[in-house]
Amino acid sequence: MATTTIKPDAELDCVGLFCPLPITRTKEAIEEIAIGQVLKVEADDPAAEEDITRWAKRTGHRILALEKDGAVLTFYIQRMA
């Protein structure tokens, strides 16, 4: 169950998609929002946690929260650049 109070500016549903689609779509979606805004991404790909975390660090974006609900991961990513 989601417990975060972060209000995303955009949402992306990647449930049912597998590598490389979650990271590709996250990259595309983050470019659609303004710097400082937050993107909520839901994914159930087992590789998503490592892939998206590594991508955010490499590209300078900030993961504000990561929630797990069964197989579904929910990322709140703030666009930094």
In angstroms, the CA 69 to CA 81 distance is 29
Question: Which listed residue (19, 35, 47, 71) is catalytic?
Answer: 19
Ordered structural domains, the chain, with CATH: 10-78 (3.30.110.40)
Instruction: Give the percent of the chain with pLDDT over 90.
Output: 91
pLDDT tens-place string over residues 29-47:
999 999 999 999 999 999 9
Verify whether residue 19 is a known catalytic residue.
yes
Question: Distances from the Cα of 60 to the Cαs of 18, 57, 79, 80, in angstroms?
Answer: 23, 5, 8, 6
Give the mean pLDDT of the chain.
94
